[in-house]
Structure 1
Amino acid sequence: MNTITDTNFNFPGQTNLYKGKVREVYTINHSKLVMIATDRLSAFDVVMPKGIPYKGQILNQIATKMMEATADLVPNWLEATPDPNVAVGHLCTPFKVEMVIRGYLAGHAAREYHLGKRQLCGVAMPDGLKENDKFPEPIITPATKAEMGDHDEDISREDIIKKGLVSEADYVVLEDYTRKLYKRGSEIAASRGLILVDTKYEFGKTQDGKIVLIDEIHTPDSSRYFYAEGYQERQDANVAQKQLSKEFVRQWLIKHKFQGLPGQTVPHMSNEYIQSVSNRYIELYEKITGEPFVKANVADIQNRIKHNVESYLNN
């Protein structure tokens, strides 16, 4: 089960290295980013102790396809993908918030709703909904971006502007881009027999001040999908939705009494369970993209990435 869970490259012109929860970002000549999607798995803002085979490749390739499919709507940071696990693009200064948009009452929103809350991030949620019902209109519920090991936190539009995390003028653009991307993502999902339930987008500013989409988009780590076929029947029968997302990992962890809370220990993940998660990610890839997944050569992932990135940078 060859996986890539950590890197420590020294690329030509390298000026910085940032390690996030699942991605490692190398800055080149203060102008370009090399983003490596590792096989690390994060849930409840905690990185699991074992990597998931092919997960990084899957996330990187879905994100690449989705950025290409939305570039006519929203500019993005991407320049090239010289390796199955690697994206290269423009250096940006990230906004310190994630733009979460929800079309349905699911996941975190449903958990808050069940506690009796009818506002999330300052946005009203109507009474009378049950879990996985569709909202009358999609709602934007931002979160502050956490450092590794910390939890993302809900925040309202008003607090984002008041605290100076994003200027009001920029926030208007982020909201507009978020709604456009979600609409296009929902259309792509529908063409695959899926419902894009909720997702998050991250944005940054290029060195010349342009707001662009960064990081991943419409992947199973950043998004929740339901199968469209049978959705309404399942809602009417009050049974769980058939879904494509990382939620299956979260539910497994909850079942094993882990939600990333203080004092909790990550449960043991057997090799069989790890393989089942990998298989599920491959299923996600094929359903989301409508294409068969082609496994990259993982005999020596580190050297493969090093060679492909250096060849690209040198050329």
Structure 2
Amino acid sequence: MSLADQILAVNNDLPIRTDKPVHSGKVRSVYWLTEADSKRLIEEKGYDVAPDAPLAIMVISDRISAFDCIWHGEGGMKGVPGKGAALNAISNHWFRLFREQGLADSHILDIPHPFVWIVQKARPVMIEAICRQYITGSMWRAYSKGERDFCGIQMPEGLKKDQKLPELLITPSTKGILEGIPGVPAVDDVNVTRDNIMDNFEAFNFTKASDIEQYEKLLQEGFGVISNALAELDQVFVDTKFEFGYVNDAAGKEKLIYMDEVGTPDSSRIWDGAEYRNGNIVENSKEGFRQFLLNHFDDADILLNKDRMAERTALARDNILPASALMDLSKTYLSIAEKVIGEKIVLSDNPKTEIVEILREQYGLVD
């Protein structure tokens, strides 16, 4: 079997019973279960959710997204071998630690297969909650051009590229386009201040103003849990993105939970600790692939400039990347995942067939 066959690139064509369109994002596809199937599973499996909570099957893929585009490689490689399994394994590990250490639950109710989550519908907080422990990436680019105000936080003079910040910074941005918030442009992914959020908490989908402190607490505690665990593996947790939402438990109590994925090489920067102490940056995250793309194309501005999105989309569509670039990334994902979970990730020859079989036999979701 070729490498290309092992890659799960298309994940929106599974025969899962649903009466709604399949929602396919950059990497995951979401199948909303019928009302009857949601109710049946909640009862059969004893999930701690409201009896009428809508459930979904979320299937990850091995597609590789960077700079908001999907990339492909030589030999029909429509993704990165092992990427989906690695991302899910890492997220599962951190979500479990969060729960065990009393932080908060996540949207995941069940994990039928390494590529699959059964999730509950959450009401998302409209914030991409970004935490930074080091100054690098887009923040360094802005700082080096003289910017000192980041999301309402004044940064000191004299910081050097890649150095540890005096304290953990929360630099939130909007998730989606939010209309009618004073001082916040109605565009996706725009930086906001804590005051913006406090003054307009309902527009950001918070139930009450005091939940902002709770989200910040979960952000800092979650970052700390992952940072400490990675430090034991001599890995530096540089920065990451968290997402939050609300759900009701079986007793009808509303709670704030973690959503999406956490602490993965896709949503975070992770550096090798020994190399960092020697003054080198060795990325154990998708950032290394982003740097490859910036060096691979003559005009890096296409990848960095949001006004050139049409050119960027064409670049990703029309260029076949060297297989070696995707295989290097595969090694990065698998090796960091195996370090985090402490065991080898075994790749399936045919993940799609396995998923369908499990969902048919054990969950009754395939006709």
Q: Normalising to structure 1: TM-score of the pair?
A: 0.89
Most deviating of 221-230 and 181-190 = 221-230
CA distance in 2, matches of 1:179, 1:62: 19
Q: What CA distance in whole angstroms lies between the structure 1 residues aligned with 2:294 and 2:55?
A: 39
Q: Work out the CA distance in 2 between the residues paired with 1:42 and 1:146.
A: 18
DSSP-derived class of the 1:89 partner: strand
In 1, Cα distance between the equivalents of 2:87 and 2:218?
Answer: 21
Alpha-carbon spacing, 1:223–1:305, altered in 2? closer, same or farther (3 Å): same
Which residue of 1 is the match for residue 193 of structure 2? 156
SS in 1 for 2:210: helix
**Deviation of the 1:218 alpha carbon:** 0.8
Write the distance in 2 (CA, Å) between the matches of 1:65 and 1:14: 32
The superposition leaves residues 186-238 of structure 1 with CA deviations (integer Å, 9 ceiling, x where unpaired) of 1111111111111111111114421111111111001111122243331xxxx
1:56-80 Cα deviation digits (max 9, x unpaired): 1111111111111111222222221
| Counterpart Cα distance in 2 of 1:48 and 1:124 | 37
1:104 match: 134
**Alpha-carbon distance between aligned partners in 1 of 2:148 and 2:341, rounded to the nearest angstrom:** 35
Rounded Cα–Cα distance in structure 1 between residues aligned with 2:360 and 2:188: 34
Q: How does 1:46-57 map to 2 (within 5 A)?
A: 46-49=69-72, 50-57=78-85
Aligned-pair distance for 1:17? 2.9
Deviations, residues 8-46 of structure 1 (Å, cap 9, x unaligned): 234235545322221112222352121111111111222
Amino acid aligned to 2:328: S
Contact 1:22 1:40 in 2 (8 A): yes
Aligned partners of 1:225 and 1:243 also within 8 Å: yes
**Residue of structure 2 aligned with 1:66, choices 74, 77, 94:** 94
Among 264, 287, 290, which residue is 1:219 paired with?
264
Larger Rg: 2
Q: Runs (4+) of structure 1 moved beyond 4 Å?
A: 13-16
**Structure 2 residue 222 is matched with structure 1 residue 189:** no
Provide closer, same or farther for how the CA distance between residues 302 and 226 of structure 1 changes in structure 2, counting only shifts above 3 A. Answer: same
Q: Which residue of 2 aligns with 1:237?
A: none
- Say which is worse superposed, 207-216 or 260-269, in terms of deviation: 260-269
Q: Distance in 2 between matches of 1:31 and 1:52?
A: 31
- SS of 1:253's equivalent in the other structure is helix
Q: Greater shift after overlay, 182-191 or 104-113? A: 104-113
Deviation at 1:308, TM superposition (A): 2.0
Q: Is the 8 A contact 2:285 2:332 kept in 1?
A: no
Contact 1:44 1:151 (8 Å CA) reproduced = no
Query: For 1:5, what is the secondary structure of its paired residue?
Result: coil
Q: Which residue of 1 aligns with 2:110?
A: 80
Task: Verify: 1:5 aligned to 2:42, yes or no.
Answer: no
- What does residue 31 of structure 1 align with? 54
Aligned to 1:19: 24
Q: TM-score, normalising length from structure 2? A: 0.77
- Residue 128 of structure 2: SS of its match in structure 1? strand
- Structure 2 CA distance, aligned partners of 1:81 and 1:33? 12
In the alignment, the residues of structure 2 paired with residue 223 and residue 116 of structure 1 have an alpha-carbon distance, to the nearest angstrom, of 25
* CA distance 1:113–1:260, shift in 2 (3 Å): closer
**CA contact 1:55–1:278 (8 Å) conserved in 2:** yes
**Structure 1 residue 254, shift from structure 2 partner:** 1.0
Residues of 1 paired with 2:13 and 2:229: CA distance? Answer: 36
Paired letter, 1:4: L
Measure, in 2, the Cα distance between the counterparts of 1:290 and 1:229: 19
The CA distance in 2 between the partners of 1:226 and 1:25, in whole Å, is: 31
- Unpaired segments ≥5 residues, structure 1: 235-239
RMSD: 2.2
Q: CA deviation at 1:291?
A: 2.5
Quick one: distance in 2 between partners of 1:120 and 1:27?
A: 38
Residue deviations 1:137-178 (CA, integer Å, cap 9, x gap): 10001122249xx96332222223445214332222111110
Residue in 2 that maps onto 1:245: 285
Within the candidate set 215, 218, 226, 1:174 is matched to: 215
Aligned length: 306
**Distance in 1 of aligned mates of 2:259 and 2:9:** 22
Q: Aligned residue for 1:165?
A: 204
* 1:284 Cα deviation from its structure 2 partner: 2.2
Do the aligned residues in 1 keep the contact of 2:173 with 2:190 (CA within 8 Å)? yes
Show the counterpart of 2:63.
Answer: 40
- Structure 1: which amino acid aligns with 2:61? T
**Residue 281 of structure 1: CA displacement?**
1.6
SS at match of 1:314: coil
Query: What corresponds to 1:303 in structure 2?
Result: 353
Q: Secondary structure at 1:259's aligned position in 2?
A: helix
Q: State the match for 2:157 in structure 1.
A: 127
Aligned partners of 2:141 and 2:155: how far apart in 1?
13
What stretches of structure 2 of length at least 5 have no aligned partner?
A: 36-52, 73-77, 178-186
Between stretches 213-222 and 157-166, larger displacement belongs to: 157-166
1:270 to 304, 319, 322: 322
